[in-house]
Amino acid sequence: MNPVLYGMLVVLATSLMGSSFAVGKLGLAYISPLLLVGIRFTLAGVLMALWVKKKRLPTSGRDWARVLLVGLFQTAGVMGCIFLSLRTITAGESSILTFVNPLIVVMFGTWLLKMKYRFSQWVGVLIGFLGVVVTLGFHLQIQIGTWLGLGSALFWAAATILVKRWGARFDIWALTAYQMLFGGLVLLLMGVTLETPKLVITPASIGIVLYLAILGSIVQFAAWYYLLSQGDPGKTSAFLFLAPFFGVLSGWMLLGEVVQWQVYAGGFFILIGIFLTNWTPTSQKLQQANVK
């Protein structure tokens, strides 16, 4: 894959992930959490399903079951855990726990996909996670929200492995559309059963929902799934460490939140972690070239 295109897609996907936290926080003034995220992904799924051509659809019941499973993990599992965790812990704490995901992906990739990672890559993942912790602060208390936050990371890592294993079977747009639709419908059900629904319709709330559905969901998921299908899931997932960094920046831009010194320090660790996770020593490059 062209390195320039790869880099552009990484920045696009992670910046949209990060900005969705700030935009979503704005949306909570109008819509209750689970209902907001359910509307977001159901709308995104419906819009993409209308656009996806029939020839791109899964061809068997087993493949439809795979898409449903991805939706349950990636959309319903991840987003449900995140928003439920916010009832008992802060957004920063939830983000820290969610973005343990790259470390879990490397562990799952080693165990389930038999992928081999160098010592420097493991160090890079740990340094990247340290960067996330530094960026968002060191405050973390063990309670029910903590376990839900860890659950979001586990769901995300599982979805990443499933997409890497099954992604080649599907058109990326069809997979994105229907996993969001399935997951969104589950979240809508959760929104009307697990919380007191609130829905205030204004131009601002409509704009927020459209941003989250189109840019924060359709564009983000399509770009991310394409990246996962094209490369090593462990290396690609390391770039997720950029998402909370973009989240802090978007919070500063959209919500007027103060950017503390630790954001810059954390960003430095994040960049080092990404470099170590993706860096291939010259000797190994030569060996790969000789094999080819």
pLDDT given for residue 246 in this prediction: 81
215 — pLDDT class (breaks 50, 70, 90): very high
Residue 57 in tokens: 């659809």
Residues 91-150: pLDDT tens digits?
A: 666 666 777 777 677 776 666 656 666 777 778 777 877 776 776 565 555 667 778 877
Residues 6 or more apart whose Cβ sits within 8 Å of residue 177: 45, 48, 49, 51, 52
Could you tell me how many helices (H) and strands (E) the chain has, helices first?
A: 15, 0
DSSP three-state, residue 104: helix
CB 166 within 8 A of CB 68: no
289 — pLDDT class (breaks 50, 70, 90): very low
d(CA 140, CA 227): 32
CB 180 within 8 A of CB 36: no
Residue 153 in tokens: 């990371």
pLDDT given for residue 135 in this prediction: 62
Q: For 201-228, give one letter per residue: b (16+ CB within 10 A) or e.
A: eeeebeebbebbbbbbbbebbbbbbbbb
Tell me, rounded to whole angstroms, the distance of Cα 168 from its chain centroid.
Answer: 20
Look at the alpha carbons of 222, 73, 87, 44 in this order and tell me if their dihedral is positive or negative: positive
Residues 249-286: pLDDT tens digits?
A: 777 788 776 666 666 677 677 667 767 766 555 445 44
d(CA 257, CA 222): 29
pLDDT given for residue 288 in this prediction: 43
Average pLDDT of the residues in 75-90: 79
Tell me, rounded to whole angstroms, the distance of Cα 161 from its chain centroid.
Answer: 13
